[in-house]
Structure 1
Amino acid sequence: MTKSPLAIAWLGTGLMGAPMAVRLLEHQYQVRVWNRTLAKAQPLERKGARLSSGPKEALADANILVTMLSDFPATKAVLSELDFTGKTLIQMATIAPEESRSLAQMIREKGGDYLEAPLLGSIPEAKSGNLIIMIAGKREVFNKMRPVLEILGSELHYVGEIGQAAALKLALNQLIASLTVAFATSLAFVETHDIAADDFMKVLRKSALYAPTFDKKLPRMQSHDYTNPNFPTEHLLKDIRLFLQSANELDSTALEAVAKLYQKSATDHQFEDYSRVFEAVNLKDGK
């Protein structure tokens, strides 16, 4: 079967994967999609994607494979069945540095090229092509894949060797976890002292302590509504565990405490937004 230079196989059409694949469709790429849960991939067919019965079919006439699967075990299981001769894998899910190096070796042994390209951003950025993408691997492979990545992200940062972009991504997600707990704790504290959240935020916004994520999560914490998440708690918990797994040379006591709060928050609510950690912090109104 003739391979089209515009054909891309896309594995993983979840919260982030689906809108990212749509971006490629909007730019005239032929996208062959596969997802373990077929229902999550079917809406893409209406937008012009071709549904594949499995990863092998998706990759059959494509030169590029993009993976946005749930974790390393799922990614490795799928990739181990594929032939990568003359093809390139762009692995965009959040995995540990050592896991990414393992995948890179496997792809090389299968005759292909490998880029790790984890991203920072949420569903709105995925839809608009404004993700921040961190890339590691051979620079010549990055240069070849740049046109695809530029459709997905407005900021591309080439980091260096395989594993380094994965490490950078975990460092940033650790900040997401820790900042949100810190903000939730301060918000709960001022509320217990009958200080209006508006007064708290007016001071905070004018200070060097402010981060835009605080205003993004404030409405959820005030309404106690964590449904329809951009980033579910279970995903952030997975990333915290990956950070801890890769941080053998650090004192991770503080992050371990943060992880316990997210674990508490996730009990029976793992699919809700990670800002639900406010309920774990707030013993007065915690749910």
Structure 2
Amino acid sequence: MNRIDANTQLGFVGVGAMGSRIVRRLLASGYKVAVYDLSREKAEALIVDGATVSNSLADLASMAEIILSCLTNDEAVRRVYLAPDGLLFHAAPGTVVLEMSTIRPQTSREVARVGADRGVRVLDVAISGSTPAVDQGTVTLLGGGDSNVFEALEPILKTIAKQYFHLGSSGSGTAAKLVVNALLGIGMQAIAEACALGEKEGLDRDQLFTVLGKTAVVAPAHMGKLPRAMRNDYSPQFPLRLMNKDFRLILEAASQSNLALPATEAAFQVNSDASIFWPDLDFSVVIQEMESRVQK
């Protein structure tokens, strides 16, 4: 692939909470970025930052040398890439794709296979980190696909992330993301249960949350959740509904491998109960769900 510099034309599909932040980092680093989203309003909001807006996937694919996408689920990825009017049927041979959504590894492999048949090199590069981490450039990227292409993409990767790892062939990045999010979701549920236990035993809630934040047992990904939960602030950094979706993908992958994940199943159940009431709040709202059980 050609050397990546400020003249390289990028395209970005899916400019929601994560995607819009990545686009702003790319623009701030001097890249030219064309964007497309089903919500024209979301795409046009990035014009002030220097983005251009494409009218269709075909328009974006025809002009971009490197395409990035950050989409909601497998269905959206398949629609954007594999539909007749999708990216892979309009991108020129030699185009490189960084697909950054959290999806089934087999979907990543399918998109890569169809892309390869058309001369398009597709990598799955999953994002580990929440919206504040994207703003700060401290996310971790987990890559699958051609290692040489991954290495050549380093100028873009280091603009987005603090660290980035190549895990193997196509689907390895999304598989690693499911592994990471299993730890993320189970860890959050463990914190919620521990807090509920402490409150049930009569510990002062604020002091309990403060002390837990000083211990070595709370992971960095969860550390910032405690002071926010202390204030009952569950404004979304990673919405509960997305954690719920990821739990489903994790358990589906485990089932296909005949692997039982009892802790994940239990955490998924509490997450699902909370999702009835608070799907768009932060996934740490399972703390509130467990506290509500203490009060019953």
* Shorter-chain TM-score above 0.5: yes
Q: Distance in 2 between matches of 1:170 and 1:241?
A: 10
Change beyond 3 A, Cα 1:214–1:126:
closer
Residue 245 (1) aligns with residue 245 (2): no
C-alpha contact 1:25 1:31 (8 A) present in aligned 2: yes
Can you give the 5+ residue segments of structure 2 that lack an aligned partner in the other structure?
Answer: 1-5
Q: Which residue of 1 aligns with 2:281?
A: 272
Q: Sort the Cα spacing of 1:40 and 1:172 in 2 relative to 1 into closer, same or farther, 3 A.
A: same
Gaps of 5+ in 1: none
Secondary structure of the corresponding residue to residue 56 of structure 1: helix
Q: Which residue of the partner structure matches residue 8 of structure 1?
A: 10
Q: Partner of 1:35 in structure 2?
A: 37
Work out whether residues 7 and 32 of structure 2, in 8 Å CA contact, stay in contact via their aligned partners in 1.
no
1:57 counterpart letter in structure 2: D
Cα distance in 1, alignment partners of residues 134 and 215 from structure 2: 30
Pick from 75, 94, 99 the counterpart of residue 107 of structure 2: 99
Write the deviation string for residues 43-92 of structure 1: whole angstroms up to 9, x where unpaired: 21111100111211122211111010111111111112232322011011
Aligned to 1:188: 196
2:259 counterpart letter in structure 1: L
Give me the identity figure in percent: 29
Q: What's the CA shift string for 1:226-277, capped at 9, x where partnerless? A: 22x1100111111111111111332122211211111111113211111111
Distance 2:241 2:104 in 1: 16
Q: 1:284 matched to which residue of 2?
A: 294
Q: TM-score, normalised by structure 1?
A: 0.92
CA distance in 1, matches of 2:184, 2:203: 25
C-alpha deviation, 1:204, in angstroms: 4.0
Instruction: Check conservation: 1:5, 1:63, Cα contact below 8 A.
Output: no
CA distance in 2, matches of 1:34, 1:281: 40
* CA deviation profile, 1:140-175 (whole Å, cap 9, x unmatched): 211221211111112011111112221111111111
TM-score, with length taken from structure 2: 0.89
2:213–2:223 Cα contact (<8 Å) kept? no
Using a 3 Å threshold, how does the CA distance of structure 1 residues 121 and 102 change in structure 2: closer, same or farther? same
Change beyond 3 A, Cα 1:234–1:148:
same
Q: Give, in whole Å, the separation in 2 of the partners of 1:266 and 1:119.
A: 23
User: RMSD between aligned alpha carbons?
Assistant: 1.9
One-letter code aligned to 2:57 = P
- CA pair 139-183 structure 1, distance change in 2 beyond 3 A: same
Shift of the alpha carbon at 1:285? Answer: 4.6
How many residue pairs match? The answer is 282
Q: Aligned-pair distance for 1:207?
A: 4.7
